[in-house]
Chains A and B, each alone.
Chain A
């Protein structure tokens, strides 16, 4: 019989419904892979073998029945240790579940374990933490990006069928890009943040990491929707995401944000932020693929990239520092090097700085809303080169380099990362960005793109079936 861990969520669900695959067999197969391979990848900080096998025996509950997933270890799980990747919470066992995990479990998902994260979703990769940083499945000497590092690495390596990450400046889409999988940051307010350790209240988003856009749509169907106990949650109707997927894009108008990576990156952040020639060519080829699917492309001009990033990063620093100030003052030794060095910078911001950044945020959100008005989506670069070595990430990488994901945290837009090629055997990706609450639209574009290309079908060697 075929190795069931090679199946997508859509394929495994079909096999389970048709009775040709049992949730127990599927869960056992994933647990075997974790046991065999995760010593090299470090994508899990806790594996729940007994609980997972017990959950796999439950009667059918919903569209994710029997699908084994992982949760970034900032998602609270009742009765199960949730560390946020920090010594501060090393023995923390919550008595509540993240709302997102409740929804996935109610849809039938099986929890394989908790996955490695940068400390409090910002401090990594940090070799001073209790947990070894996750490695890139395409080359374990390289960085899988963060902060949803373990989740992305596990999905790419076939150590779970899907996973949950969080994204404050790109922590779902960056790891998705470097690991060659799909990652969606939904619209701010679309997916509940309740029960997830916050990094930055107004910028945090929760979303899925999967191997295909169709799988992303299946997970989003379970995740999306109003949560009255999350103050940011939006009471908006949830469409049928899978039904929105098509193989053609005839009649669609798609904007292309070129100046962020073609001009602004080097002009505003220096030569180290220059896109690689291979990336530039892959981005252009991806745009041509969208045209070949029937879309009409138009250039989009926004404010300089640095305007978006400085506002995004200042707001994140201010909100994160406020969250950790007491501990930073009273028990700084509890934090890893990167977490402390990065977030302590928030101590030097003023209230006026924060308000000014929030005023800039509104201006830029309005600008982006006007730019995308009349368009069906916008494409924008993601990380503009292959994953660097994991031992070559500077402490202040978060602030000194160009990033193409942060602007869409600032605007709260839905943004999907999709693979567009490879460089030196490592994946490359771009983003498809939509109007607020149009996750269906960005997934439609992403699915059609997948249909026309085969990048998402390429898997790292470590993802091959066990002998």
Chain B
């Protein structure tokens, strides 16, 4: 499962938005790793009924004692 790497220009925008300061080596490595993020994002976005709830929902806390 090999995805095309994101362009350097596009990835630089994402890094800036994230507020990360990366060395050139970190930039290249994370850009390479970004393909896994892209795969995951694509994988979990699929048609669902609007009533399909997430696995975690709010639960009232219990206060002991």
Q: A-side interface residues toward B, CB under 8 Å?
A: 202, 228-229, 231, 268-270, 306-307, 310-311, 313-314, 317, 328-329, 332, 340-342, 344-345, 347-349, 353, 355-363, 365, 395-396, 399-400
Contacts of A317 in B (CB 8 A): 37, 40
Most buried by A among B15, B20, B64: B20
- A342: nearest residue on chain B (CB-CB)? B33
Contacts of A399 in B (CB 8 A): 33, 36
Contact of B20 among A228, A229, A347, A362 (CB under 8 A): A347
List the 5 shortest-distance A-B pairs measured between CB atoms, nearest first: A358-B54, A347-B18, A310-B43, A361-B55, A399-B36
A-B CB pair tally, cutoff 8 Å = 102
Most buried by A among B32, B33, B34, B40: B40
A202 touches B33 (CB 8 A): no
A311 touches B20 (CB 8 A): no
A329 touches B19 (CB 8 A): yes
B43 touches A355 (CB 8 A): no
CB within 8 Å of A: which B1-59 residues = 1-2, 14-15, 18-22, 26, 29-30, 32-34, 36-37, 39-41, 43-46, 48, 52-56, 59
Contact of B29 among A311, A341, A400 (CB under 8 A): A341
A229 touches B33 (CB 8 A): no
Contacts of B21 in A (CB 8 A): 329, 332
Contacts of A361 in B (CB 8 A): 54-55
The smallest beta-carbon distance between A333 and chain B, in angstroms, is 10
Contacts of B33 in A (CB 8 A): 341-342, 345, 395-396, 399
Q: B-side interface residues toward A, CB under 8 Å?
A: 1-2, 14-15, 18-22, 26, 29-30, 32-34, 36-37, 39-41, 43-46, 48, 52-56, 59, 61-62, 64
- A411: nearest residue on chain B (CB-CB)? B55
The smallest beta-carbon distance between B36 and chain A, in angstroms, is 4
Please, could you name 17 A-B residue pairs with CB atoms under 8 Å apart, sorted by A? Answer: A202-B56, A231-B59, A231-B61, A310-B39, A314-B37, A314-B40, A332-B20, A342-B33, A345-B34, A347-B20, A348-B37, A353-B40, A359-B55, A361-B54, A365-B55, A396-B32, A396-B33
Q: Is the interface of A mostly helix, strand, loop or mixed?
A: helix
B1 touches A269 (CB 8 A): yes
Contacts of B15 in A (CB 8 A): 347
Distance A340 CA – B2 CA, assembled complex (angstroms): 22
A362 touches B55 (CB 8 A): yes
Contacts of A396 in B (CB 8 A): 32-33, 36
Distance A340 CA – B36 CA, assembled complex (angstroms): 15
Distance A231 CA – B56 CA, assembled complex (angstroms): 12
The smallest beta-carbon distance between B22 and chain A, in angstroms, is 8
A356 touches B55 (CB 8 A): no
Distance A268 CA – B22 CA, assembled complex (angstroms): 31
B62 touches A353 (CB 8 A): no
The smallest beta-carbon distance between B54 and chain A, in angstroms, is 3
Contacts of B46 in A (CB 8 A): 360
Distance A187 CA – B44 CA, assembled complex (angstroms): 24
Distance A363 CA – B14 CA, assembled complex (angstroms): 30
Distance A365 CA – B53 CA, assembled complex (angstroms): 12
Contacts of A342 in B (CB 8 A): 33
Provided the pairs A228-B62, A231-B61, A340-B26 are in contact, do residues A349 and B41 lie with their beta carbons within 8 angstroms?
yes
- B23: nearest residue on chain A (CB-CB)? A332
The smallest beta-carbon distance between A236 and chain B, in angstroms, is 14
Contacts of A332 in B (CB 8 A): 20-22, 26
Contact of B53 among A269, A310, A341, A362 (CB under 8 A): A362
B61 touches A348 (CB 8 A): no
Distance A349 CA – B34 CA, assembled complex (angstroms): 10
Contacts of A306 in B (CB 8 A): 1, 43
